[in-house]
């Protein structure tokens, strides 16, 4: 695919925080993910990357994703993922009903007792 064909790939506009690290370094940099597709993302942050750099990004609900920097403009950059992801997973709620503490889960209606006041 050439650059014009890449622009036709569906992207989800969103705003989530992610962690980025450069291979060979244990340092993690907090970045903003501005849009996300199965094949890549646009990030924004104070981390200095160059075109061609290999990076790893920890995306919410997806985990660590490897890729390479495709372009850089000011504090924004594009990353082409090594393997495709499902971008809808990153949009999903972080907590599910199974992770809610039983102390904070309301009892079913038929089990609730009336309180005297």
| Alpha carbon distance 44, 1 (integer Å) | 25
Q: Is the pLDDT of residue 101 over 50?
A: no
Mean residue pLDDT of the chain comes to 80
Q: Residue 56: exposed, middle, or buried by beta-carbon count in 10 A (0-12, 13-18, 19+)?
A: middle
**pLDDT one-digit tens code per residue, 23-55:** 888 899 999 999 999 999 999 999 999 999 999
Q: Tokens at residue 5, please?
A: 């064909």
Task: Please say whether the beta carbons of 71 and 51 come within 8 A.
Answer: yes
Q: What is the pTM of this model?
A: 0.70
């Amino acid at each position: 695919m050439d650059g014009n064909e890449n622009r036709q790939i569906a992207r989800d506009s969103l705003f989530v925080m992610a962690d980025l690290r450069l291979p060979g370094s244990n340092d993690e940099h907090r970045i903003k993910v501005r849009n996300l597709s199965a094949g890549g993302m646009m990030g924004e942050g104070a981390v200095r990357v160059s075109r061609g750099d290999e990076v790893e990004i920890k995306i919410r609900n997806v985990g660590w994703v490897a890729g390479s920097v495709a372009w850089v403009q000011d504090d924004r950059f594009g990353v082409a993922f090594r393997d495709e992801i499902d971008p809808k997973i990153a949009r999903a709620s972080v907590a599910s009903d199974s992770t809610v503490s039983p102390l904070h889960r309301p009892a079913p209606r038929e089990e609730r007792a009336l309180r005297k006041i």
